[in-house]
Structure 1
Amino acid sequence: MVNRENLVNRPAVLMLRALGLGDFLTGVPAYRALRAAHPEHETVLAAPSALAPLARLCGAIDRLLPTGELAPIEWAGPPPDVGVDLHGNGPASHELVAATGARTLMVYASEAAPHEKGPWWDDDEHEVSRWCRLLEWWDIPADPRDLLLDPPDVPAPAEGAVVVHPGAAGGSRRWPADRYAAVARALTDMGERVVVTGSGRERPLAHEVAERAGLSADAVLAGRTGLAELAALVSRARLVVSNDTGMAHLGFAYARPSVTLYGPVSPALWGPPPGEPQHAVLWHGAGGRPGDAWGAVPDPRLLRITVEEVVDAARRVLPQPT
């Protein structure tokens, strides 16, 4: 992000995406498309302040304006030229963007907002493609494959490690700890250095996985890394093994070999970019509507994934020694 003092009196493009890590990363192609379409404007992302380290790495955001999910946007100064709702499909988020006085509003129409000027929302669309299509309706070309981040300028906590990430915000997306431990043990037996990541709240889960796998306490990085350090870790990782959560998308953002476990939500909606063989996707679902991504217990489709499947997928995508 650039020095705000250099942006005084420049017109602005405001983008609302006040959600989590995975949501932020799936919006990167849209941020870049808006920057390319408005090169003389200041591009402002209304999002949680915790995402600022990654906002600096996508090359499309001049300023992060801290805000919470569906919280008022504290906009100051002249109204933005363009306001873009990259958050949702109804009045709850549309009105937050409109309240800034934006001269042009780019939003989805839907059953909740049938009279909006914009394309119609599609529940069955991949999250990355969805926001690209919104912009294309406004004649702004957007490439859904434009997902890669610059590496952060900080050291990796563990260079060339296999990253195992057993957590997720919803219990329905958390594969059992004993199975993650079995995978971590198998990868260690293959000669890999394994580290276990997570948030501060997930530190007990990470320790459980490490202890069951026979890893030392030093292998537990959960709660010990900021977002920039986590990005550095992933950007230099040999492999990322995770649930369907933000860590998976960080692996996609650095094109690292990955194994991602899906349960209530199909990878057709939240999976990696197609045609990239370094990303292995495991899912035992079929079509139909998604399950509850925020449920309390592991989704039955997630529980159908076996330890052997995950280890086999890891062997397939791990880079071979040269």
Structure 2
Amino acid sequence: MILVLRALGVGDLVTAVPALRALRAAYPGRELALAAPAGLAPLVELVGGIDRLVDTAGLDRPAWSGPAPQVAVNLHGRGPQSHRLVAAARPGRMLAFANADARFSDGPRWAADEHEVDRWCRLLSWYDIPADRTDLGLRRPGPAGLPVGATVLHPGTKIPAKRWPAERFAALARALTDRGHRVVLTGSADERALAERVAETAGLPPTAVLAGRTDLGALAALVAHARLVVSGDTGVAHLATGYGTASVVLFGPVPPARWGPPPDRPRHRALWAGEGDWPRWDGVGSHPTLTALRLDEVLAAVDEVERVVRVSGAVAA
């Protein structure tokens, strides 16, 4: 059995897809168990190739209590806490980044500025397991009664500093509606009030607010069949990449070089105003790198990705 630790969120799982598929290919006859939060189960099914999901949220309890796995892989972080959690499963072999504090030297060195997809592919490559960083596609579920061809605006993130201001999302919703888009607003149950405020300010009907009304599987289906996604640096942006749905992702303060969509995919546009010399910031709400992003910049990016979709569609036809 192969045990993989990735006890994180939606975007973390999607960026680990190439590494997970590489492990599936490297060990075709063995059970592949993923230690991750149980709430990710609908998305795990869309990744494919994972035989068992072991409910593991964070690093505060054992990731595995069964028989010792033949191989255990730390796709969670650089250690030492995650290393010790993986080692506690008593694997025959452990694949991880080197970490002196965890007394683990059999692995490559961690690179702080590396893109998240490349990080885990490089880890496996060090152990002679080839991984294709472009293998990010997810299985496409049916729409299951959800809107098809909608424009998805996702104004929330778990970290308030990574949110584009709500009033600008509302202005974007108005502008896109005027252009003929069917706009819907997504988010978690905790973000429903934010989505409702955006909808009310934009003049959208209450039915446009889907925040808190879709589980992860439904959200994936909505994105898979959407016309466009505009969001901050959060899980829904990675779903758009996985489905090739046109997207504009608003970054700050973390640069897109670490978590953004692949730069060679023109259907996805990352906006970031972090190149400037931003001072130390202790405020609340949106980080200055996000408030610096103007509505006209976002609309221009929307035009760019939609132009790419039209041209690629014409070529395919």
**What CA distance in whole angstroms lies between the structure 2 residues aligned with 1:286 and 1:310?**
17
TM-score normalised by L of structure 2? 0.93
* Secondary structure class of the residue paired with 1:83: strand
**What CA distance in whole angstroms lies between the structure 1 residues aligned with 2:245 and 2:192?**
24
Tell me, yes or no, if the aligned pair for 2:80 and 2:99 is still in contact at 8 Å. Answer: no
Aligned counterpart, 1:38: 27
1:314 aligns with 2:302: yes
Going by fraction, where is helix more abundant, 1 or 2? 2
Aligned counterpart, 1:297: 285
Aligned counterpart, 2:8: 19
Tell me, yes or no, if the aligned pair for 1:170 and 1:295 is still in contact at 8 Å. Answer: no
* Secondary structure class of the residue paired with 1:71: coil
- Once the 2 structures are TM-superposed, how far is the Cα of residue 153 of structure 1 from its aligned partner? 4.2
Aligned counterpart, 2:259: 270
1:255 aligns with 2:225: no
- Once the 2 structures are TM-superposed, how far is the Cα of residue 74 of structure 1 from its aligned partner? 4.7
Aligned counterpart, 2:43: 54
Tell me, yes or no, if the aligned pair for 2:47 and 2:139 is still in contact at 8 Å. Answer: yes
- Once the 2 structures are TM-superposed, how far is the Cα of residue 286 of structure 1 from its aligned partner? 2.5
1:117 aligns with 2:106: yes
1:207 aligns with 2:183: no
Note the aligned Cα RMSD (angstroms).
Answer: 2.0
- Inter-CA distance 204–266: structure 2 relative to 1 (3 Å threshold): same
**What CA distance in whole angstroms lies between the structure 2 residues aligned with 1:298 and 1:93?**
31
Among 176, 179, 203, the residue aligned to 1:187: 176
* Secondary structure class of the residue paired with 2:230: strand
- Tell me the amino acid that sits aligned with residue 178 of structure 1: E
Among 153, 163, 170, the residue aligned to 2:152: 163
Deviation readout 1:170-189 (Å, 9 max, x if unpaired): 01100100000000110000
Quick check: 224-233 or 153-162, which moved more? 153-162
* Secondary structure class of the residue paired with 2:54: strand
Tell me, yes or no, if the aligned pair for 1:196 and 1:210 is still in contact at 8 Å. Answer: yes
1:225 aligns with 2:214: yes
Tell me, yes or no, if the aligned pair for 2:143 and 2:222 is still in contact at 8 Å. Answer: no
**What CA distance in whole angstroms lies between the structure 2 residues aligned with 1:157 and 1:209?**
21
Tell me, yes or no, if the aligned pair for 2:69 and 2:90 is still in contact at 8 Å. Answer: yes
- Inter-CA distance 199–75: structure 2 relative to 1 (3 Å threshold): same
**Structure 2 segments unaligned to the other structure (5+ residues):** none
**What CA distance in whole angstroms lies between the structure 1 residues aligned with 2:228 and 2:145?**
14
**Structure 1 segments unaligned to the other structure (5+ residues):** 1-11
**Number of aligned residue pairs:** 309
- Once the 2 structures are TM-superposed, how far is the Cα of residue 71 of structure 1 from its aligned partner? 2.6
Quick check: 110-119 or 37-46, which moved more? 110-119
